Amino acid sequence: MAQLFSLGHTTPHKNMDTDILDIFTFFIGLVVWILIFGLVGALIGKRRGRIGSGVFWGVLFGPLGWLITALLTDLRPKCSLCGAAVNRGATRCCHCGGEISSGTLQEYERWKKSKEPTEPIP
């Protein structure tokens, strides 16, 4: 009767050592997946001000998660003068040199004049 339900196919009986080795290999692979894809996702997310999102999407979807993280909006603060992303806690923009906290119109005009060429281009 057992042959009728198995359609003639019999599976070899695995011993307990092979089962434990398969489970161990699975968990080692899972840890490696989380470490590699999560770390790369964190590095990509750091460039967008989203480290946690980078780890989450990287672990969940791997390289596709990296792409998702790279396409998310940038959460880093922006310079009020030139609009470039600056590091948190910075007092001056590394691109234009303007103060991050004030960003007045006079500073913008001063920055704009410093970027204009002094000699006319023929």
Residues 15, 55 within the same domain: yes
Residue 15 above 80 pLDDT? no
> What pLDDT band is residue 70 in, cutting at 50, 70 and 90?
very high
| DSSP conformation class of 94 | T
Residue 36 above 90 pLDDT? yes
Distance separating alpha carbons of residues 15 and 18, to the nearest angstrom = 6
pLDDT value for 99: 74
pLDDT value for 90: 74
Domain that holds residue 61: 1-75
**What's the mean pLDDT in 98-102?**
67
Residues 1, 58 within the same domain: yes
Reading phi first (left if > 0) and then psi (alpha if -120 to 50, else beta), residue 109 is in: alpha
Residues 3, 60 within the same domain: yes
Distance separating alpha carbons of residues 69 and 61, to the nearest angstrom = 11
Residues 59, 17 within the same domain: yes
> What pLDDT band is residue 12 in, cutting at 50, 70 and 90?
low
Residues 51, 98 within the same domain: no
